[in-house]
Amino acid sequence: MVRRILAFIAAVASAYIVSVVLSAQVALQEVASYGMTASLAMRIETSLLDLAGMLRVYLSLVAVSLLVALPLVALALKFAPLPRWLGYVIGGAAGLWALHMTMFAVFGMHAIPATRFATGMASQVVAGALAGYVFHRLSTMPQQTHASLQ
């Protein structure tokens, strides 16, 4: 049980970090298409500012979306003949996609501006897929016994 909780926390953290960083990069790429340059320093600074600025609200939303998606995957895997890792990758991707579609339905606009573009939405789906994979890997790692540590 503790392993699954820690795996969930790692999955949420990885989804949040990758989602926010990729979102910032997609937004900066869009700005660059208007002729403005985005240096590496600007890209790093923007990513760090977004990670800090979106922490309270967006991290919570990512956590809730995965809290719904990952148990649904566990249930679906009892009936679907998919490899476990693939189920969690698909589930994590679907969880973040559903989060952004829900925010669009509620607010009538894209709460994360990068998701207005196909590349931005794809980046969010990739972040969710990574989260699913992280959860799969960390929740199935073999436990080390005291004897194996010696």
pLDDT tens-place string over residues 4-42: 999 999 999 999 999 999 999 998 888 777 888 878 898
Best CA proximity match to 22, nearest among 53, 57, 47, 3 = 47
Range of the domain at 27: 2-141
Residue 90: inside a domain, yes or no? yes
d(CA 102, CA 48): 26
CB 102 within 8 A of CB 124: no
Cα dist from 113 to 2, 50, 55, 58, 74, whole Å: 36, 12, 16, 13, 31
Domain assignment present for 40 = yes
Nearest partner of 70 among 122, 136, 18, 15, judged by Cα: 136
148 assigned to some structural domain: no
Assess if residue 50 is contained within a domain: yes
User: 97-147 pLDDT, tens per residue?
Assistant: 999 999 999 999 888 888 888 999 999 999 999 999 999 999 987 665 544
The single-letter DSSP state of residue 38 is: -
Q: How many domains does the chain have?
A: 1
In a domain, residue 147? The reply is: no
pTM, two decimal places: 0.87
Contact 23, 112 (CB under 8 A): yes
